[in-house]
């Protein structure tokens, strides 16, 4: 018995050292992602030109994130993020009493860093004051299941109805299944549907926020490996972000 137990312990010891060696090798050979510094200012864009002019003040305590790291702007509206590797977005939580001029997020591209040996670049956010009162109304839609030009026309008609509402909604939230079954179709089909979906909301006059549904996770249920590239940047939930905005986000309205 003792001999058998010793043999088991010897093999366990060998396996432990093998695992340790593999981990050590991986940690020394794995790609080291460079640090990227993102800095900027969130400011009140008084003249609504999407440029910070000399008389426009920064906005304090606004949440800014790259999707992993989260900071708040300082008293002058400035922020600093240090990201390990290149994030897809930098974006804000729109604070109560303000709305973004343009977008509340900026898509980051690696070529933007090509001219910056230091790996630093600046991203600013222009906000304008907005009257926000409670109670307020918003529009919630779901299960659009975009596939065809006919679906596109129906959603455009819906958007026109929203724009004509006598009481203006604060925003629109679309809660999943934006497209029809991109999870079980080739990525090329999902791209076509997402392009139609994006076009459908182009004329909306209030902010729309979109949420990922199971049908929006491109290609994950395709069983034929010849029909899907699982390394494509828009595979899975990447397609949502390629055509719309960050998956994880928040916003405030009227102190809610």
Phi, psi (degrees; rounded to nearest 5) at 103: -120, 155
Residue of 125, 50, 36 lying closest to 86 (CA atoms)? 36
What pTM does this model have? Answer: 0.82
Cis peptide before 17 (omega within 30 of 0): no
Q: What is the pLDDT of residue 7?
A: 60
So where are the chain's domains? 35-129, 139-243
Q: Alpha helices of the chain — where are they, by DSSP H? A: 2-29, 149-163, 187-200, 238-243
Please tell me the distance from the alpha carbon of residue 163 to that of residue 168, in angstroms, as a whole number: 8
Backbone angles phi, psi at 112, to 5 degrees: -65, -25
Domain 139-243: give its CATH code.
3.60.21.40
| Interstrand relation of 105-107 and 78-84 (parallel, antiparallel or unpaired) | unpaired
CA angle 185, 217, 104 (to 5 degrees): 135
> For the chain, what is the total number of helices (H) and then of strands (E)?
4, 12
How is residue 110 annotated by DSSP?
A: G
Backbone angles phi, psi at 98, to 5 degrees: -135, 155
Q: What is the pLDDT of residue 112?
A: 54
pLDDT of residue 35: 83
Which class would CATH give 35-129? mainly beta
pLDDT in the model for residue 85: 83
Report the distance separating Cα 77 and Cα 61, nearest Å: 7
The low-confidence residues of the chain, meaning pLDDT below 50, are: 12, 18, 20-30, 114-115
CB 243 within 8 A of CB 123: no
In contact, 244 and 211? CB cutoff 8 Å: no
**What is the reported pLDDT for 1?**
57
The closest of 108, 111, 119 to 35, measured between CA atoms, is 119
- Tell me the per-residue pLDDT of 151-162, one tens digit each, with 9 for 90 and over: 999 999 999 999
């Amino acid at each position: 018995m003792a001999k058998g137990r010793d043999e088991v312990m010897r093999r366990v010891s060998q396996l432990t050292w093998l695992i340790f060696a593999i981990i050590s090798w991986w940690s020394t050979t794995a790609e080291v992602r460079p640090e990227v510094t993102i800095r900027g200012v969130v400011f009140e864009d008084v003249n609504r030109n999407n440029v910070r002019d000399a008389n426009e003040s920064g906005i304090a305590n606004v949440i800014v994130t790259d999707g992993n790291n989260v900071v708040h702007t300082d008293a002058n509206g400035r922020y600093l993020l240090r990201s390990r590797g290149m994030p897809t977005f930098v974006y804000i939580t729109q604070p109560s009493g303000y709305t973004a001029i343009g977008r509340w997020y900026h898509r980051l591209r690696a070529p933007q860093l090509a001219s910056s040996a230091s790996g630093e670049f600046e991203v600013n956010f222009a906000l304008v004051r907005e009257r926000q009162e409670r109670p307020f109304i918003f529009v919630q839609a779901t299960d659009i299941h975009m596939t065809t030009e006919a679906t596109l026309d129906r959603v455009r008609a819906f958007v026109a109805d929203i724009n004509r509402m006598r009481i203006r909604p604060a925003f629109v939230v679309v809660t999943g299944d934006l497209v029809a079954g991109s999870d079980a179709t080739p990525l090329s089909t999902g791209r076509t549907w997402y392009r139609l979906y994006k076009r459908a909301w182009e004329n909306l006059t209030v902010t729309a926020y979109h949420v990922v549904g199971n049908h929006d996770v491109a290609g994950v249920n395709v069983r034929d490996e010849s029909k899907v590239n699982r390394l494509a940047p828009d595979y899975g939930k990447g397609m949502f972000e390629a055509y719309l905005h960050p998956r994880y986000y928040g916003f405030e309205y009227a102190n809610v």
